[in-house]
Amino acid sequence: MSRIIKIRNLEYVYPDGTKALKGIDLDVFKEESVGLIGPNGAGKSTLLLHLNGILKAGRGLVEVLGMKVKERNIIKVRQRVAIVFQEPDDQLFMPTVFDDVAFGPINLGYPEEKVRVSVKEALKGVRMESYEKRCSHHLSFGEKKRISLATVLSMQPEILILDEPTSNLDPRARRHLIELLRSFTLTKIVAGHDLELILGICQRVVLLDEGRIVANGDARNVLSNKSLMESHGLELPLSLGA
Ligand SMILES: Nc1ncnc2c1ncn2[C@@H]1O[C@H](COP(=O)(O)OP(=O)(O)OP(=O)(O)O)[C@@H](O)[C@H]1O
Ligand SMILES: [Mg+2]
């Protein structure tokens, strides 16, 4: 398997002095699905935001698809690495759902017809085909989460990064999302507290706490390790005998 993400000794301090990442080393391989877990404030979202250069490494190396995530590569990186943010309001900013989902394809220079098809396919993927003309900001939280995912699916990225993808989804939407994600062969990194989702789609789990990786291994092994999980403020997923 070829390595698609390489992170070495990554440190990040927010402008107010909060040390969010304290030396992260991580490799992700092509077509892997990796779950990123850890208590609130562990640094999960901060780590993900480095993968397409929204945050810039304070110290250390972040390399994606063989490119250093630096200013000069940012456009190329963002064409291939898509992030769905924890907060859908950070993702949706256009007047209509169509415009939000079309934004990426238009920026990639797709011709009009291809933009239309990409938007349709992406909305179909999240089962929101009839929402094209709706105003993104008037949707419910769960609907916004699904449209947020469509805004990146429409660009057909090589690496899909999802931060808390199932929060506020109803059970049916959550199940559809899990099925959809399982059907993708692309490389995925999924952060969050929905451990059943992570168990359902990830082969490997990385446990982060206080800005450091404290475990990195087979998803079942990590998620069923009661003392490890509990010592980092987590519980075993129900299906693993919580
Ligand atoms: N914009 C910011 N300015 C200052 N500190 C921040 C900022 N964003 C996050 N932090 C801090 O950085 C640390 C890591 O936060 P991060 O959001 O990455 O955690 P997380 O693991 O994603 O948590 P959660 O499970 O709640 O989503 C926390 O201590 C948080 O308070
Ligand atoms: Mg977070």
Tens digit of each residue's pLDDT (9 = 90 or more) over 88-131: 999 999 999 999 999 999 998 999 999 999 999 999 999 999 99
Mean pLDDT of 2-19: 96
The domain locations on the chain are 3-237
Contact predicate 106/98, CB 8 Å:
no
Q: Enumerate the β-bridge partners of residue 13.
A: 19
> What amino acid occupies position 45?
S
Please tell me the distance between residue 20's alpha carbon and the centre of ligand 1 in angstroms: 7
- To test the pocket of ligand 1, the residue of 10, 12, 40, 234 to mutate (highest count of ligand atoms within 8 Å of its CB) is 40
Task: Report whether CATH 3.40.50.300 matches the domain 3-237.
Answer: yes
Tell me the per-residue pLDDT of 159-203, one tens digit each, with 9 for 90 and over. 999 999 998 888 988 988 888 889 888 999 999 999 999 999 999
Pocket lined around ligand 1, Cβ cut-off 6 Å: 14, 16, 18, 20, 38, 40-46, 86
- Among candidate residues 214, 217, 38, 15, the one with its CA nearest the CA of residue 48: 38
DSSP string, 133-168: TS-GGGS-HHHHHHHHHHHHHTT--SEEEEESTTTT
Ligand lying closest to the C-alpha of residue 208: 1
